[in-house]
Structure 1
Amino acid sequence: MQEMTELDRFIALIGGEQNLPPISTEENVVDDTDDHTTTATTTEKDGDELPSIYEVEMMNEKYDQEAQERQRFLKQDGSEATAAMDGNVSSLGSQLANTSLRPSGPLTTRFGEVAPRGFTFVPFVAVTKFCYEFVPQQWSQPLASAFFDNNKIYERQWDLYYILSAHCQTQKPTTYVSEYQVQALLDEINQTFPKANIIISDDLRNEGMVQDFDDYPQELRPHYLGRLQSREQHDAWMVDTPMTGVASKMPPERTLEAFKAMLQAAADLGKAKSKSKQKAKLQMAVQGRQDMGKQVLRAQRRVGLMKRNEGSELEDSMARLNIAQYDPSKAVPFSLEDDPIIIAIDVEAYERSSKIITEVGVATLDTRDLRDIPPGTFGDDCSWFKYIRGRHFRIAEHKHLRNHEFLQGCPDAFEFGKSEFVAETDMPSTLNSCFHEPFSKPDCTTSAQSTGTQETRNLILLGHDLLQDIQYLRQLGFNVLSRRNVIDTMDTVIMFKHYMHDVNPTSLGRVLGHFDIVGWNLHNGGNDAVYTMQAMLAICIKAAMERGDENSAVKRQELDKQRTKAVVDAAVERREDEMVGWTLAQDEDGGVAVVPKDGDFESKTAKTMRPVHGPPRPPKLQSGLWTIGGAPLDV
C-alpha cells in the first residue's frame, strides 16, 4: 500500500483541494499602507462564476448518459463481467478507469482497489445524516445549515469505497468513507462550534458507526469507487456499480455472518436509528414535561402563589430555599403577576357531527378580585370560586339537538346562571363582547368602551383540551387568538398531567373528583367552563400547599411505585397468556390430515373491506373470459 504523504494528510484534513487558499498574485495584494482604505482587486474570470441552471441541467444529463453507457458496456462485455464475478476487480477497474465509460468524476486507476488494511470506515449514509440523527437536538439545525444542507456534505471530495457482494446481496452498494476523513469533518465542526463537542461516541461505535474490515478476506472488504464531488455524481455511481468480487471458496460461516451483521448495521444507520429515535423521543418527552411544569408555575404566579425570578442567581436560589408550604387560610404571599383576566371556554358539538356547534360556555375570573382574599377551605368551599362569572350560550338553530348516545348532554341544566339563546350568525360578536369590558360582569350595564375610558387588560385563555375548543370556535367564525392582549394560555389537561406525573390525559370530572369538587351536570358548556376554572385554581393551590412538604413527597413516591408495579404485573400477565397452549400432549401424533378448502386460504382482510358499490361482478368460470358487455364467454 502506498503511504499517505504529509500533503495528502493535510488535504484530507481540510476536506479537499477545493479548500486550499488561493495563490497570491501581484494583482490581489492589499496595500496596508493606505490606512485600510485600499481593497484587493479581484481576478475573477467568467469561468469562476456559478453555473447557470441550464449548465446544471446539462451536467445532470451528462451524468445520466454516462451511467447508461457504463451499464450498457458492462452488460455487453462478458469477459469483464466474468472477471468481476471471479474477484478480479482490479483488472476491471483498470480498464474502466481508462475509458470514457467510467463513473463521472476524477477517477484514477485506483477504481476497484481493495481498501488498505489499518483503516477503519464509516458508512457514508450515516455521514450524510449525522447532524440529523446523532447529535444533540440543539446543534442539529446549526450543523445542518453550515455543513450538510443543500448537498454540502457531498461536495467535500470524499474518497468513496463500496461493497456490493454476492455473499450478501443488496439492492444498491453499501458505501463507506474512512474514519480519518470523517474525523477531519468533525474537527472542522468543533472548530466552528466550539461548544458543540461533536464526537463519535462509544455507543455509536458499538452500533456500527465505525467498522473494521482488516480481518476479512479480500472479497469481503470495501473497494475503491472514486473521489466524490457532488450529489449528482453519487447518484450516478449508484446506478450500476459492478460486484466487488466472489471468491471460488466460500468464507467461513462465522465470518460470513459477522460480515452480514456489519452490512445490516450500516443499513440500519441509514434508516432512522431506533436507539437514536428513542433518545430523541425521550428528549422531546422530557422537554414537554418541563413545559407542563412551567405552565403550572406561571399559573401560580398569576394568582400570587409564586414569584418570578428577576434578581441575581444568588437571590433567586435563596428565594427558592425560603419558599415554604402554603397555608390557604392566609392571603397569597406574592403580588398577582400581570394583573390578568382569565377566561375559560368550553364548546359542545353534536355527537353525530362535530361541525354542528350546540353550546359555548365562558367563565371569567378577574384576578384583581382575589387580592387579599385567602382561598380558605380547600375543595368545594374555596372562597375564590365565588368570583368566577359563568355564561352559557346555546345556538338557537340547534337547540333541539341533545347528545345522549355517546355521552349524556344536559344543555338545559346550567348551574351558574341562565342560559342565553343566540343565533349562529351572532355568535362571533357575542363571544367578542366577553373579551372586552365589562368582561361578563352582570352588574355592569354600561360598557366602558362607550364612555371612552376602556382599559386594556391582559387576558389569559384557559381550557380543558384547549386546542379542540379553539378549533370549534373557528368553525363559528371567531378566532380567539387574534387579540393582541392575550398574553398566555393554560390547559388543565396539561397542568393536571404534571401535577400527577402522569402521561395520560384525565377527564374534567376525574380532575374535579381528585380535589373533592363536585361537578354537577357536566357536558354542559357553561358548567364545564366554570369547572375548568375551578380545576385550574385547585391545581395551583394544592401544588403550593404540597411544596416542600415531606409527607406529600412520600405519598408521591408511593404512588409512583404503585404505577410501576401495575405496569410490571400487566406485562407479566400478558406474557403468561402468550405462553399458554404451546405444549402438546405426550401421546399426540398430529391426528388426521386436514383437507384444504378455498375458504382456508382467503385473505382475512378481504372480508373486512368496505363494500364496492355498483353492478355485481360476473360469475367465475373455468375460462375466466367475458365479453365486453360482461357476459360469460363460453370457450
Structure 2
Amino acid sequence: MASNRELYSMMSNMGFSGGVTQPARDRVTELRVGDRLAKGFEFCPYKLIRKYPFLQGKKSNQDLQECMKTTIFDDRTWTFFYLLDPGPNHREPLLLVPSSQFEEYLSYVSLYMRMRVSIPGGQEREQFFITFGEMDTPLPRFIGHANSHNAVDSLRSQIPKLPKDDLTRMGTVALAQYNIKMDAIYATVKSEKRKKDPEAARLRRFQRHKGYGRMMKRTQRYLGLRSPVIEQANSRIPGMEWNGNMPAPFRTDDSVRFVCVDVEAWERATHIVTEVGLAILDTRDIRGVPPGGVGYGYNWFPLVKSYHFRIREHIDKVNHQFVAGCPESFHFGQSYIVSSRDISGILSTIIEDKESEDKRPIVMVGHDIGQDLRYMTKVGYNIWRVPHFSDEVDTQSLFQVYKKSRDGRGLRTLCQDLGIPGHDFHNAGNDATYTLRAMIAMAVNSASQSFVRRNDLQHSGSDPGEWSDGPMDDGGLPGKSAEPI
C-alpha cells in the first residue's frame, strides 16, 4: 500500500494543484443537476473539510472543532458536485465543493475565532485543490446546493438516480491513472480507525447537554422564573398558573446584573479589536414588570441598557469581505469613539458598577461567550479578576437546550427563529443587545411552557431526557469558566 507521501506525489502528478482560487470560474448558480464545469476547476472533498480540525497537529483542536460544527452552515450555502468510485469496491460517492468556497469559509472562521486559520502549506495543501479531466477522465457533476446537514444527506441520497460516466470508452492507461488518482483522494478522506466507546460518548454528550440545561435553569432562577430548590415545596409549586402577562412568580435570585459583551475584530488582522458592545439587564429593574403576554419577554427588552464603543486608532478598519461590518449603525443609543488606552477603564466602570457601593453578582452573557471574554483581555480588561463575577451564560448553548438540538446556531439565525426583529448584525453594540434579548426570550418562553409540565413531573424523580437533571433541579451552583492562561 502506498504511503501518504507517495499518494500526495501521485496526486500532484495527476492534477492536484496548490494554486490560488479562481473566483471568476466559481459562478455555479445557473448549473443544472448533472452539469459539469470546465477542466481545471479546483475542488475540495467535503469529507476533508469535516476532517480539517483534526489535521491541525497530533491532537484535535477542540475550539476549532466546536467552531466548525457550529458555523459550517451559519448563513452559508455550499455548492456540491459528485464523482462515483471507478473501482470495484463501489465506495460511497465522492462529494466535492469548490475550493474557493472552503478558503472563504476559513477566512470567516478566522474572524469568528479571532485567530489565523488557513489551509496547510506544502504537499498537504495539494489535497484541498484538486483538478479533474486529465486525459479526458470524468469531471465532477453538479448535484445541488445545501445549507444544512440534512440537505447534504438529501443530496447524497439522490446520486444513484443521477447521470453516470461511461468509463468503458476510456483508454487503459487513462482508466488506470484515474483509478490511482481516485484511490489517493479516498485515502485523504478516510477516517483513521480507532476504538470507540459508544457508551462513553453518549455519557459525555449527556453530561454536556445536562450542563446546558442547568445553565438555562440558573438563568431562569436569576430572572425570578424558577425558585431555588431550597424553597420548592413538596406539594404544588407556587405560581404554577403563571404566564407572561404576570410578573415573575419568584424573587430574583441575588439581584444579579446580566452583562452581555460582544467584541468585533478586524478581518485582516484578527488580533485588532475595532468595536466593543455591552448590554446590561439589572434584575432589580424587572421586579413587578410582566415579561410579555406572547411569552418571549418583550416587555423586558426596553429595560436593557446598551453601549457601543469604537476604538479610535482603528476606526478606519471596517469588515466587508467575510461579514458586513456596520460600525456606524448602532440602533440602541449613542456610539462612543474611545482610545485603546481608555477602553479597559471604561469597561471596568460599567461592568463592575463602580458608581454603586453594592457589588452584586455579575453574570456575563455572550453568544459563544468564551471567545468574547478571552478577547476582552486583548484590550486590557480581565473579567476573571473581578471578585463579583459569578457566572456565565452562553446563548449558543441555551439555544441547543431550548431546541433540544445538538447543533448550535449563529446569532442572526437564532434571532430569526425566536421572532426577535434585528438588522445590522456584526455591530458590537447591536449584537450584544440582540444576544441579551435572545437570552430573555428563551428563558421566559421555556419557563412559561414548563410550569404545568413541572407540576406533572414533580414527584417523578427525574426528567427522562438528556437535557435535564430533573424538574426539581434549580440549576445548581454558578458555572464560571477558569481564567485562560
TM-score by length of structure 2 reads: 0.52
Letter in structure 2 aligned against 1:298: R
Matches within 5 A, 1:524-543: 524-543=427-446
Matches within 5 A, 1:564-579: none
Q: Retained in 1: the 8 A contact 2:242–2:451?
A: no
1:465 correspondence with 2:386: no
Q: How far is 1:545 from its partner?
A: 1.6
Rg larger in 1 or in 2?
1
Q: How far is 1:437 from its partner?
A: 3.0
1:355 correspondence with 2:355: no
Q: Retained in 2: the 8 A contact 1:342–1:461?
A: yes
1:274 correspondence with 2:191: no
CA RMSD of aligned residues (A): 2.4
> Which residue, out of 395, 398, 405, partners 2:314?
398
> Which residue, out of 294, 305, 309, partners 2:229?
309
Q: Retained in 2: the 8 A contact 1:415–1:527?
A: yes
The corresponding residue for 1:420 is 336
1:288 correspondence with 2:205: no
In 1, Cα distance between the equivalents of 2:204 and 2:244? Answer: 35
Q: 1:316 to 1:357 in 2, by over 3 A?
A: same
Letter in structure 1 aligned against 2:402: Y
Q: How far is 1:538 from its partner?
A: 0.2
Aligned residues: 264
Q: Retained in 1: the 8 A contact 2:295–2:448?
A: no
Letter in structure 1 aligned against 2:215: Q
1:480 correspondence with 2:400: no
Letter in structure 2 aligned against 1:528: D
Letter in structure 1 aligned against 2:388: N
1:504 correspondence with 2:407: yes
Q: How far is 1:318 from its partner?
A: 3.1
The corresponding residue for 2:161 is none
Q: How far is 1:381 from its partner?
A: 7.9
Q: 1:291 to 1:528 in 2, by over 3 A?
A: same
The more displaced of 425-434 and 285-294 is 425-434
In 1, Cα distance between the equivalents of 2:406 and 2:250? Answer: 31
Q: Retained in 2: the 8 A contact 1:415–1:520?
A: no
Q: 1:503 to 1:327 in 2, by over 3 A?
A: same
The corresponding residue for 1:334 is 250
Q: Retained in 2: the 8 A contact 1:379–1:516?
A: no
The corresponding residue for 1:455 is 358
Summarize deviations over 1:414-460 as a string: whole Å, max 9, x none: 0001111111121111111112336xxxxxxxx34xxxxx1211111
Summarize deviations over 1:57-116 as a string: whole Å, max 9, x none: xxxxxxxxxxxxxxxxxxxxxxxxxxxxxxxxxxxxxxxxxxxxxxxxxxxxxxxxxxxx
In 1, Cα distance between the equivalents of 2:317 and 2:202? Answer: 44
> Which residue, out of 273, 285, 300, partners 1:384?
300
The corresponding residue for 1:432 is 348
The corresponding residue for 1:318 is 235
In 2, Cα distance between the equivalents of 1:516 and 1:375? Answer: 15
Matches within 5 A, 1:127-146: none
Q: How far is 1:325 from its partner?
A: 5.4
Summarize deviations over 1:170-204 as a string: whole Å, max 9, x none: xxxxxxxxxxxxxxxxxxxxxxxxxxxxxxxxxxx
Q: How far is 1:274 from its partner?
A: 2.7
Q: Retained in 1: the 8 A contact 2:344–2:380?
A: yes
Matched position secondary structure for 2:200: helix
The corresponding residue for 2:477 is none
In 2, Cα distance between the equivalents of 1:272 and 1:482? Answer: 44
Q: Retained in 2: the 8 A contact 1:340–1:458?
A: yes
In 2, Cα distance between the equivalents of 1:361 and 1:341? Answer: 16
Letter in structure 2 aligned against 1:274: K
Letter in structure 2 aligned against 1:285: R
1:490 correspondence with 2:410: no
In 2, Cα distance between the equivalents of 1:469 and 1:495? Answer: 17
Summarize deviations over 1:485-507 as a string: whole Å, max 9, x none: 01111010010110001111111
Letter in structure 2 aligned against 1:303: L
Q: How far is 1:520 from its partner?
A: 2.0
1:366 correspondence with 2:282: yes
Q: How far is 1:377 from its partner?
A: 3.5
Q: Retained in 1: the 8 A contact 2:297–2:441?
A: no
Q: How far is 1:484 from its partner?
A: 1.1
1:518 correspondence with 2:421: yes
Q: Retained in 2: the 8 A contact 1:326–1:544?
A: no
Q: Retained in 2: the 8 A contact 1:358–1:395?
A: yes
Matches within 5 A, 1:16-95: none
Letter in structure 2 aligned against 1:354: T
Letter in structure 2 aligned against 1:281: A
Q: How far is 1:513 from its partner?
A: 1.3
The corresponding residue for 2:125 is none
Q: Retained in 2: the 8 A contact 1:325–1:546?
A: no
Q: Retained in 2: the 8 A contact 1:325–1:547?
A: no
Letter in structure 1 aligned against 2:195: S
The corresponding residue for 1:451 is none
Summarize deviations over 1:570-589 as a string: whole Å, max 9, x none: xxxxxxxxxxxxxxxxxxxx
In 1, Cα distance between the equivalents of 2:322 and 2:418? Answer: 26
Q: How far is 1:549 from its partner?
A: 5.9
In 2, Cα distance between the equivalents of 1:283 and 1:381? Answer: 34
Q: 1:330 to 1:548 in 2, by over 3 A?
A: closer
In 2, Cα distance between the equivalents of 1:378 and 1:409? Answer: 32
The corresponding residue for 2:324 is 408
Q: Any unmatched runs of 5+ in structure 2?
A: 1-191, 457-464, 466-485
Q: How far is 1:366 from its partner?
A: 0.7
The corresponding residue for 1:602 is none
The corresponding residue for 1:77 is none
Q: How far is 1:467 from its partner?
A: 0.7
Q: Retained in 2: the 8 A contact 1:325–1:544?
A: no
Q: Retained in 1: the 8 A contact 2:244–2:297?
A: no
Summarize deviations over 1:15-42 as a string: whole Å, max 9, x none: xxxxxxxxxxxxxxxxxxxxxxxxxxxx
The corresponding residue for 2:44 is none
Letter in structure 2 aligned against 1:327: N
Q: 1:366 to 1:381 in 2, by over 3 A?
A: closer
Letter in structure 2 aligned against 1:503: R
In 2, Cα distance between the equivalents of 1:316 and 1:291? Answer: 24
Q: Retained in 1: the 8 A contact 2:308–2:428?
A: yes
Matches within 5 A, 1:613-624: none
Q: Retained in 1: the 8 A contact 2:243–2:295?
A: no
In 1, Cα distance between the equivalents of 2:398 and 2:236? Answer: 24
Letter in structure 1 aligned against 2:261: I
TM-score by length of structure 1 reads: 0.40
Matched position secondary structure for 1:523: coil
The corresponding residue for 2:117 is none
In 1, Cα distance between the equivalents of 2:317 and 2:365? Answer: 26
Q: Any unmatched runs of 5+ in structure 1?
A: 1-270, 439-446, 449-453, 554-559, 561-635
Summarize deviations over 1:381-420 as a string: whole Å, max 9, x none: 8111111000001010111111111111100000001111
